Amino acid sequence: MKITVELPDDVAQHPNPGREVLEALAIEGYRSGAMSHYQASQVLGLSRFEFDGFLKARNIYDHAYDVEDLNRDLEDLRKFEARGLTR
């Protein structure tokens, strides 16, 4: 989907205003929970790990990968292994 946004003149004069606004949208969407990690990374055209680096470079740790995330991923891995879906 393509969306057109009219930017105020002062913002439009930034070096890369479209990207700047898109990044702000993705960050706020992710922080507020309106977008998942995956969705926010896709909005920016980044992989999961690139998006993590993007957030880290901006000192954003609101939803940093934590022990609970690791435990969920390990449990998912065990389920996949039990089904024979891993190599």
pLDDT digits (tens, 9 = 90+) for 13-64: 999 999 999 999 999 999 888 998 899 999 999 998 899 999 999 988 776 6
Domain coverage including residue 38: 9-82
* Helix-helix angle 48-57:17-32, to 10 degrees: 100
Domain-located, residue 34: yes
Domain-located, residue 87: no
User: Could you tell me if 55 and 65 are in contact, meaning their C-beta atoms sit under 8 angstroms apart?
Assistant: no
Q: Please, what is the end-to-end C-alpha distance for the chain in angstroms?
A: 36
Strands (E) in the chain, as ranges, are: none
Domains: count for the chain:
1
Q: Rounded to two decimals, what is the model's pTM?
A: 0.67
Backbone angles phi and psi of 3, in degrees to 5 = -125, 135
